[in-house]
């Protein structure tokens, strides 16, 4: 093997394979001929899952695998590079599931000397994984089972040392809530696609890691130069002061102004109690200080506290914009203290605040329309804005009590169960519930939800470009249409989404934060390639890393196709594509998905009838073998 | 140099958000690698309470008294603690004596290490995104704390 491939810097060169069924752990050396094709993080994880998960398994059975992967920049000064990907077959969608989180866990694992952990099998009794540099052990977690993520964090730190970083599931994951999250640093969540339920099904309660080693890079001087340049771009970004001071809650204000503040299960984009959940209110009443992920100059995370009133004593990390909307305005709740409490509970139980809030909002609309009644809810009155019910339901979901047992299945399964025409307002794509921003006011985001491999997902594409008020000329230069800068326009959006999806896959695989790359485009492919090259010593070209992104995206697509997710599921709930916004500045807007999808498929080189990537493309990307194995071959012109 | 004129690193803990960029920059400056274990500064954290406090050498001199080999002194140029690596025998008396847990020990070299103020240009101060660290004399810091410059600036929530 070529030396350059076998010994890049940046990576640690080792990973762990843990089998919970027979309680074995093996340390393996990285095969850089594979990693160079997928980079790390999300890309490496999907490749491992594609190779090792048998087709058609139930996501909560023992054959599923939990992949935890770092990237070549983890643990370095590359801005906001402390992220990691956790992937598995999703219990929510049945397709590829992955989630990406920040905090301080990923660099600690890097300093312990590992690039990834792949977890197979299922433990007989609750276990946790202990890692202290070269010492790796499976230990009993009987004393932790039943505890929430904060208690688990506290107990493990008391037993081991507060230098350990802990990743854990709460009762949500233990009880197999289909949208359970995996938490670290109390409020950092690998939340989406139900990875926490997979961890719970394996009876793995936590991973505690301590690393005292170092991360070396290939070209330190050049690396620091690009770090410097990027930091300056980040600090010069007009959105930096807001993101840095208020965190994502400032997006509540932007969503309101655009008329896309999702309200009452997206029945409207105007929330009458907007001021009570605004960034200003958050700052005046609850924000204490910033709370950063490791090595992040943006530090959008906030520490907040409720001092008085019914929810006094509530504390912890942020609520994010997504949480404020999904557990707030989508449920009609305008009491920010209640939302903070709901956020704290979701973090402690380990639940995805997006899917949780959305499923409750769906249930509230079903209650409003009489599809479910107080007989079904055990007497609970699921009225819009009822914060007492919101708080009660969260605990009922985590423990699958009463109505909570149904809510724990997510919107799609709940709708199938209750019927009564509820499919018309069951907001989900491929089984996953949608994020906060109402995409009727941002069409590229709408297309991105429909095409994202993990279901309704704003982060696969995150095409912020359309929202930043750029000059039309820039829209033409980047995406071939001056109208690309207009969020209401659908023109130029397919190209915008393809570009963002491909580059986004790289960002998630290098494990940098999307805020650094997509909020001011401080890191573009030509910058990212420098970070990767100077860290590893490789000599990749910008177009090569975009190829890696396209490869990752197509492999995820193949995974979904082989698991039976059909092209027809690249769609939007009717509420977004056929029900125009009823009021406000974006009144009349809906997502013209039919106009965008054909061009999207054409640009992707996917067959419009079947959604299968063309053979010629897969050949170029080196994915032909994977497609042939599952008979996913489609020639152009067939 | 009189004690009053000595500059050291002062911490404004209300500004620290716990990002640990200081730890990364420090280890890189001194060791050429990224490793918080090799950093001369660290962030003490209590996450449940939102506590993040940078801890680094305040040049109290307890380590100087504790060293049996007389390997520790104050730098003539900066006043920083200076460890003579030829004299250090790795007995860790200084580590035990340090009241702030900022005298560290590198097991691979068997030597103690602590903040050397980057020879008068501390990189943690340069890289802190929140200006929570200040390289000043005690008097300068006292004046700074009373000035408008020291306040956290709250931006307008301006819609684009």
Q: ipTM score of the complex?
A: 0.96
The separation between CA A305 and the C-alpha centre of its own chain, rounded to angstroms, equals 25
Question: B157 in a domain, yes or no?
Answer: no
Residue B6: predicted pLDDT:
87
Element (H, E) at A183: strand A182-184
Residue A239: predicted pLDDT:
87
Per-residue pLDDT of B79-128, as tens digits, reads 999 999 999 999 999 999 999 999 999 999 999 999 999 999 999 999 99
Last residue of a domain, one of A147, A181, A210: A210
Residue B1: predicted pLDDT:
54
Looking at every residue in chain B, the average pLDDT score rounds to 94
Residues of chain A with confidence (pLDDT) below 50: 1-5
Q: A204 and A274: one domain?
A: no
Hey, which residues 216-245 in chain A have their CB within 8 Å of chain B?
A: 216-217, 220, 224, 231, 235, 238-239, 241-242, 244-245
Question: B156 in a domain, yes or no?
Answer: no
Owner of token pair 């090595």: A295
Q: A118 and A171: one domain?
A: yes
- Long-range contacts made by residues B51-55, C-beta under 8 angstroms, separation at least 24? B52/A289, B52/A291, B52/B13, B52/B16, B52/B17, B52/B18, B53/B11, B53/B13, B53/B16, B54/B11, B54/B13, B54/B16, B54/B22, B54/B124, B54/B132, B54/B133, B55/B11, B55/B100, B55/B101, B55/B102
Its domain, for residue A394, covers: 262-424
The structural domain count of chain B equals 1
**Contact: A316, B31; criterion CB under 8 Å:** no
Contacts of A296 in chain B (CB under 8 A): 19, 21
Q: A37 and A92: one domain?
A: yes
Hey, which residues 472-501 in chain A have their CB within 8 Å of chain B?
A: none
Tell me phi and psi for residue A184, to 5 degrees. Answer: -140, 155
CATH number, domain at A520? 1.10.599.10
Residue A153: predicted pLDDT:
98
**Contact: A299, B48; criterion CB under 8 Å:** no
CATH number, domain at A302? 1.10.569.10
The confidence band for B4, taking pLDDT boundaries of 50, 70 and 90, is: low
Question: B155 in a domain, yes or no?
Answer: no
Per-residue pLDDT of A320-371, as tens digits, reads 999 999 999 999 999 999 999 999 999 999 999 999 999 999 999 999 999 9
Q: How far is B153 from chain A (nearest CA, A)?
A: 8
Residue B160: predicted pLDDT:
47
Q: How far is A403 from chain B (nearest CA, A)?
A: 31
User: Which of B19, B113, B160 to probe the A interface (max A CBs under 10 A)?
Assistant: B19
Question: B12 in a domain, yes or no?
Answer: yes
Q: How far is B159 from chain A (nearest CA, A)?
A: 6
CATH number, domain at A197? 3.60.9.10
Question: A222 in a domain, yes or no?
Answer: no
Question: A257 in a domain, yes or no?
Answer: no
Q: How far apart are CA A341 and CA A637, in angstroms?
A: 56
Contacts of B31 in chain A (CB under 8 A): 214
Q: A284 and A346: one domain?
A: yes
Residue B2: predicted pLDDT:
61
Q: How far apart are CA A182 and CA A86, in angstroms?
A: 9
Last residue of a domain, one of A210, A234, A254: A210
pTM tops 0.95, yes or no = yes
Tell me phi and psi for residue A637, to 5 degrees. Answer: 90, -5
Q: A84 and A188: one domain?
A: yes
**Cα–Cα distances in angstroms (integers) from residue A136 to residues A62, A116, B86, B153, in the given order:** 22, 13, 36, 45
Q: A23 and A167: one domain?
A: yes
Its domain, for residue B28, covers: 3-150
Chain B contact present for A253, CB below 8 A? yes
CATH number, domain at B113? 3.30.70.20
Q: How far is A616 from chain B (nearest CA, A)?
A: 43
Last residue of a domain, one of A390, A424, A458: A424
**Contact: A297, B129; criterion CB under 8 Å:** yes
Q: A7 and A154: one domain?
A: yes
Q: Is the pLDDT of residue B159 over 70?
A: no
Chain B contact present for A254, CB below 8 A? yes
Residue A518: predicted pLDDT:
86
Count contacts between A and B (CB, < 8 Å).
108
Nearest residue on chain A to B154, alpha-carbon basis: A245
The structural domain count of chain A equals 3
Chain B contact present for A283, CB below 8 A? yes
Residue B3: predicted pLDDT:
62
Q: What share of chain B is helix, strand, coil (3-state, %, to 5)?
A: 30, 20, 50
Chain B contact present for A288, CB below 8 A? yes
């Amino acid at each position: 093997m070529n030396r350059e491939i076998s010994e890049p810097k940046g990576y640690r060169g080792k990973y762990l394979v843990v089998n919970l069924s027979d309680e074995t752990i093996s340390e393996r050396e990285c095969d850089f001929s594979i990693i160079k094709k997928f980079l790390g993080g999300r890309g490496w994880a999907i490749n491992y899952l594609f190779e090792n998960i048998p087709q058609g398994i139930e996501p909560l059975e023992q054959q599923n695998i939990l992949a935890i992967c770092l990237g070549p920049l983890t643990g370095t000064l590359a801005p906001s590079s402390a992220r990691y990907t956790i992937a598995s077959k999703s219990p929510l969608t049945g397709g590829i599931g992955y989630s990406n989180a920040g905090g301080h866990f990923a660099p600690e694992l890097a300093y312990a000397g590992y690039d990834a952990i792949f977890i197979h099998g299922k433990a007989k009794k609750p276990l946790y994984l202990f890692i202290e540099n070269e010492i790796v052990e499976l230990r009993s977690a009987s004393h932790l089972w039943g505890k929430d993520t904060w208690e688990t964090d506290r107990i493990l730190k008391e037993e081991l040392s507060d230098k350990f970083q802990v990743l854990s599931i709460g009762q949500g994951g233990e009880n197999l809530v289909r949208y359970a999250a995996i938490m670290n640093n109390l409020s950092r969540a690998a939340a989406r696609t139900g990875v926490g339920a997979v961890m719970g099904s394996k009876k793995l309660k936590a991973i505690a890691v301590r690393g005292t080693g170092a991360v070396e890079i290939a070209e330190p001087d050049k690396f620091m130069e690009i770090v410097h340049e990027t930091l300056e771009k980040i600090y010069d970004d007009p959105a930096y002061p807001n993101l840095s001071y208020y965190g994502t809650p400032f997006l509540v204000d932007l969503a309101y102004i655009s008329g896309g503040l999702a309200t009452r299960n997206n029945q409207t984009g105007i929330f009458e109690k907007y001021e009570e959940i605004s960034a200003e209110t958050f700052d005046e009443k609850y924000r204490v200080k910033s709370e950063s992920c490791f090595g992040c100059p943006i530090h959008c995370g906030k520490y907040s506290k409720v001092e008085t009133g019914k929810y006094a004593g509530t504390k912890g990390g942020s609520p994010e914009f997504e949480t404020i909307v999904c557990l707030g305005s989508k449920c009609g709740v305008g009491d920010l203290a209640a939302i903070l409490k709901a956020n704290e509970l979701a973090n402690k139980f380990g639940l995805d605040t997006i899917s949780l809030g959305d499923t409750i909002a769906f249930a509230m609309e079903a209650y409003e329309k009489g599809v479910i009644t107080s007989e079904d809810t055990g007497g609970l009155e699921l009225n819009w804005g009822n914060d007492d019910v919101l708080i009660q339901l969260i605990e009922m979901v985590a423990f699958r009590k009463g109505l909570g047992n149904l809510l724990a299945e997510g919107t799609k399964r709940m709708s199938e169960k209750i019927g009564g025409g509820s499919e018309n307002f069951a907001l989900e794509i491929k089984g996953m519930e949608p994020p906060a921003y109402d995409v009727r006011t941002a069409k590229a985001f709408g297309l991105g939800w429909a095409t994202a491999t993990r279901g309704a997902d704003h982060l696969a594409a995150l095409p912020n470009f359309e929202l930043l008020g750029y000059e039309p000329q820039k829209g033409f230069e980047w995406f071939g249409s001056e109208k690309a800068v207009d969020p209401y326009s659908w023109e130029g959006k397919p190209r915008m989404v393809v570009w963002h999806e491909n580059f986004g896959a790289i960002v998630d695989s290098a494990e940098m934060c999307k805020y650094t790359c997509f909020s001011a485009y401080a890191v573009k492919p030509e910058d990212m390639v420098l970070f990767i090259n100077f860290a590893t010593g490789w000599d990749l070209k910008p177009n090569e890393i975009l190829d890696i992104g396209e490869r990752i995206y197509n492999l995820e697509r193949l995974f979904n196709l082989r698991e039976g997710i059909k092209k027809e599921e690249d769609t939007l709930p009717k509420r977004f594509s056929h029900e125009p916004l009823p009021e406000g500045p974006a009144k009349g807007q809906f997502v013209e998905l039919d106009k965008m999808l054909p061009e999207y498929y054409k640009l992707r080189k996917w067959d419009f009838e079947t959604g299968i990537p063309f053979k010629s493309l897969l050949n170029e990307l080196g994915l032909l073998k994977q497609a042939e194995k599952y008979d996913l071959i489609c020639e152009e012109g067939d | 140099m009189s004690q009053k004129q000595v500059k050291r690193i002062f911490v404004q803990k209300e500004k620290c958000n716990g990002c640990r960029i200081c730890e990364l920059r420090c280890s890189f400056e001194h060791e050429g690698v990224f490793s918080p274990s090799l950093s001369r500064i660290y962030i003490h954290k209590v996450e449940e309470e939102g506590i993040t406090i940078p801890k680094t050498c305040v040049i109290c001199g307890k380590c100087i008294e504790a060293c049996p080999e007389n390997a520790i002194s104050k730098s003539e140029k900066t006043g920083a603690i200076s460890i003579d690596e030829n004299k250090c025998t790795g007995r860790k008396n200084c580590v035990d004596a340090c009241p702030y847990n900022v005298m560290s020990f590198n097991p691979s070299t068997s030597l103690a290490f602590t903040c050397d103020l980057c020879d008068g240009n501390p990189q943690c101060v340069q890289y802190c995104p929140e200006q929570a660290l200040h390289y000043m004399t005690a008097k300068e810091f006292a004046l700074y704390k009373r000035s408008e410059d020291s306040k956290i600036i709250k931006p307008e929530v301006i819609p684009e």
